[in-house]
Homo-oligomer: A and B are copies of this chain.
Amino acid sequence: MYPRYLTVVAEFFARPGLEDELRRELLALVEPTRGEHGCVQYDLHEEQGRPGHFLFYENWTSRAELDAHARSPHIERLFSLIDTLVSEPPRILMFDRIG
């Protein structure tokens, strides 16, 4: 049976000059998040030709586990810093995988 994961696509746009700092903060989330219960995939990307535009692609087995992730210390740290690092609000969308 094909699992119907909950997918999150989260985009962050660095404030000019803070690309490296935002990249470092986002990379620091990868390993602790992959160790969380219910995390199936958590990959970080940077757009070609647009340094500082980052995108997480995330698959979770349930909404409860995603909600627990949002309360994790590493995510709380990021959100305490994020306003200083980004040039516009993050674009965070939730999807159902359909195929």
Q: List chain A positions with a Cβ less than 8 A from chain B.
A: 7, 9, 23, 26-27, 30, 43-48, 55, 57, 93-99
Question: CA A98 – CA B44 in complex, angstroms?
Answer: 6
- Whether the Cβ atoms of B44 and A99 lie closer than 8 Å is yes
Looking across the interface, which residue of chain B has its beta carbon closest to that of A49? B94
Question: CA A43 – CA B97 in complex, angstroms?
Answer: 7
**A3 → chain B, closest Cβ, in Å?**
11
Task: Determine which residue in A93, A94, A95, A99 has the highest number of CB atoms from chain B within 10 A of its CB, and name it.
Answer: A99
Contacts of A57 in B (CB 8 A): 7, 9, 57
- Whether the Cβ atoms of A47 and B98 lie closer than 8 Å is no
Contacts of A26 in B (CB 8 A): 99
